Amino acid sequence: MNDLARDLASTARLPLPTRAGALSFWLRSRAFILLRALRDLGDRSHRGWPRGHALAEAVVLAESRTPLWRDGRGDEFALVAGKVHNLRVALRAFDGVVVPAGATLSFWRQLGRPSALRGFVRGRELRGGCIVPVVAGGLCQLSNALADVAARAGIAFVERHAHSARVGDDGAIDATVFWNYVDLRLRAAHAWRLEVQLGADELVVRVRADMPVRAAPDDDGGASLRSRAVRPLRGCLTCAEAACFRHEPSLRAAHAREAWLLDAWTPEFAAHLATRTGADDVDRHAPPTGAQWRQPWRSQPRTWAGARTLRAASLRRLAWLRWNAHAQGRRQAAIVDGERWIAAAFARRLRPEHDRLVLAQGALPHLHRLGVLGGRRYRVLANALPMAEIERRLDAARRDAGEAAAATLADFRVDAALREAERLALHGAEAIVTAHAEVARYWRARGVTVQQLSWSMPAVAPRGAVARPGAPLVVFAASALARKGAYELAAALRGLRVRLRVLGSRSADATLWQGIEVEHAGYASDWLEQACVVVLPAHVEHAPRALLRALAAGVPVVATPACGIDATPHLELVPAGDVEALRRAIMDRTVEAH
């Protein structure tokens, strides 16, 4: 008789769960919970331990990897997704915990009472031979993995309990938990560090310590601790016992969904996502941030009519950015603050069944720090290099810049923890989706999957012959900032018979354009009709929209690879920071135009 037939035969012999039995279990468990609480009252030997950086570089004594999504049938998706979500919430209490020498780690003292108020949802729990939906169900995968690495690292068990049944036969150490009297407690003679991570498909638990592996006194290789329990016989979502009071057919309707967390809408991203805009398993979330965001909704009203907005976070960000618009060195910090608020609003809208994400790069590090990316596959819509790489390039530019330029090149900075969060999250992405050629090159060189999109060229009529009286007009398609190459451009133009038009904001450095005939006009001026050449010698550029307009109109463009546009007609690329190459390219274009 095979396993399935044996399970079905055994199921027929089991009595159905009853409300009276459930009430009896509840009353008995409350008594045990009270007794354990009284017994542990005032006992500080196994308190919760704080997270820290100690032993972060110590040797890994043991590691456990267990699958997240492959331990249930398709019609149990709701409970498996709930389990993964509960592990996501519990991870914050365990990852990075350092347990002192001789101290006890208690699973429940470390985690605290799991409840819906703390973000736990209904997941799978084994009870009486059945798999039932219970708030915080599924945490036993973490306790099993913790027990497994503890046994292999020589950490002693102070308390451990076996399951009455098992979901799968993965050979791991068996350790069940139930608040608060069924606990897992561990102790070692030396200090040790616990690390818990959720990948897209697996739970990873590690133990680090400076001490070598030492077997526990009663160690037998863990054989006596491994599960010998039978397979659970029924599940509330898979059995046919409709008369059972736990029967919930509505849970069977739950299925995997994809969530779009969008905050950097571009025509390229719109075209990329167009094939999925009508899908019924996609939830779309995007804050309203002006006409650039609203236009896709107007053009696709049926697709985007149900998109939930994040108005409060968006308005708060808008007000904060305006408040800090002219504060020296504060604008980048204000941008990061706004992205953090938007990311927090995104996180509140995610549900356990969202196992796939498409998300904006700006929200990525904040979502990683909130712990919502674990157990999910995600693609990143990227329009910029990683923060660490941007800062590295700006630091390199500072070494060769003058004092005035160096001061402004230092204002694009974030804290190290945020840079590291972005690095980890980007490397965990299923793919980087971008139209920016420099971003695509950066990630391909590091072995990351990249889906490079084509730039969407604006609908601009080719420019005809234009009479240009006076000196040739050079258009600087950016604000007068050092990271946009303003100081290199000023050095290249000195001594040339040209006029300069700056489309963005003015520089705070009154000496920047000294000796150059300069005018300031916005992007709404006639720059596209009058320009002999459009220039952007940037060290960092995320959205080269003005350059794309110029190229679409057939206007010559001189830019750096940092602008993200590959070789194309009318475009000449020069190295960032190379004044002489920039000067030669501008001279060639202005001579041709006149």
Residue pLDDT, tens place only, 163-217: 766 655 555 678 999 998 999 999 999 999 999 999 999 999 999 999 765 555 4
Q: List the single range of 122-136, 140-154, 375-389, 534-548 with lowest mean pLDDT.
A: 122-136
The mean pLDDT of 126-135, rounded to a whole number, is: 78
Phi, psi torsion values for 212, nearest 5 degrees: -70, 165
> In this predicted model, what pLDDT tens digit does every residue of 272-287 receive, in sequence order?
888 777 777 888 887 7
**Is the pLDDT at 518 greater than 70, yes or no?**
yes
Residue 395 exposure: Cα atoms within 13 Å on the Cβ side: 7
pLDDT tier at 470, thresholds 50, 70, 90: confident
Top-confidence residue, 563 or 276:
563
Top-confidence residue, 274 or 308:
274
* Closest C-alpha to 368, from 335, 339, 397: 339
Q: What is residue 398's three-state secondary structure?
A: helix
User: What is the structure's pLDDT at 301?
Assistant: 35
Contact between 594 and 502 under an 8 Å Cβ cutoff? The reply is: no
User: What is the structure's pLDDT at 411?
Assistant: 72
Tokens of 394: 């700006």
What value, to the nearest 5°, has the Cα angle with vertex 289 and ends 288 and 294? 60
Top-confidence residue, 516 or 402:
516
Rounded Cα distance between 311 and 317, Å, is 10
Parallel/antiparallel/unpaired status of strands 282-285 and 377-381: unpaired
Q: What is residue 43's three-state secondary structure?
A: coil
The residues with which 62 forms a beta bridge, in sequence order, are 207
Residue 178 DSSP code: B
H or E stretch covering 93: helix 77-94
User: What is the structure's pLDDT at 227?
Assistant: 52
Tokens of 450: 């990249």
**Is the pLDDT at 572 greater than 70, yes or no?**
yes
Q: What is residue 379's three-state secondary structure?
A: strand
Tokens of 380: 């990143």
**Is the pLDDT at 546 greater than 50, yes or no?**
yes
Rounded Cα distance between 548 and 427, Å, is 30
pLDDT tier at 300, thresholds 50, 70, 90: very low
User: What is the structure's pLDDT at 20?
Assistant: 83
pTM: predicted TM-score of the whole model, two decimal places: 0.85
Q: List the single range of 14-23, 129-138, 234-243 with lowest mean pLDDT.
A: 234-243
In the predicted model, what is the mean pLDDT of the chain? 83
Question: Could you tell me the CA-to-CA distances from 423 to 279, 443, 471, 534 in Å, in that order?
Answer: 31, 11, 47, 34
- List all residues 6 or more positions away from 347 whose beta carbon is below 8 Å from its beta carbon: 367, 370, 372
Question: Could you tell me the CA-to-CA distances from 470 to 269, 467, 527, 535 in Å, in that order?
Answer: 42, 10, 15, 19
Contact between 105 and 114 under an 8 Å Cβ cutoff? The reply is: no
Top-confidence residue, 394 or 252:
394
User: What is the structure's pLDDT at 418?
Assistant: 92
Contact between 293 and 265 under an 8 Å Cβ cutoff? The reply is: yes
> In this predicted model, what pLDDT tens digit does every residue of 397-421 receive, in sequence order?
888 777 777 777 877 788 889 999 9
User: What is the structure's pLDDT at 461?
Assistant: 75
Rounded Cα distance between 206 and 103, Å, is 18
User: What is the structure's pLDDT at 132?
Assistant: 80
Q: List the single range of 39-48, 194-203, 268-277, 474-483 with lowest mean pLDDT.
A: 39-48
Q: What is residue 260's three-state secondary structure?
A: strand
Question: Could you tell me the CA-to-CA distances from 342 to 304, 306, 387, 494 in Å, in that order?
Answer: 19, 19, 18, 44
Top-confidence residue, 45 or 228:
45
Contact between 400 and 577 under an 8 Å Cβ cutoff? The reply is: yes
Q: List the single range of 302-306, 508-512, 538-542 with lowest mean pLDDT.
A: 302-306
Q: List the single range of 270-284, 333-347, 471-485, 486-500 with lowest mean pLDDT.
A: 270-284
The residues with which 59 forms a beta bridge, in sequence order, are 209
**Is the pLDDT at 431 greater than 90, yes or no?**
yes
Question: Could you tell me the CA-to-CA distances from 538 to 4, 180, 191, 491, 559 in Å, in that order?
Answer: 65, 59, 50, 14, 7
Neighbours of 66 (CB within 10 A): 18
Q: Which residue shows structure tokens 């489309």?
A: 503
User: What is the structure's pLDDT at 462?
Assistant: 75
Domains of the chain: 39-251 (no CATH), 257-452 (3.40.50), 473-593 (3.40.50.2000)
Q: Which residue shows structure tokens 């693609």?
A: 379
Contact between 97 and 67 under an 8 Å Cβ cutoff? The reply is: no
The mean pLDDT of 437-464, rounded to a whole number, is: 90
The mean pLDDT of 98-111, rounded to a whole number, is: 94
Question: Could you tell me the CA-to-CA distances from 475 to 472, 569, 577 in Å, in that order?
Answer: 10, 18, 18
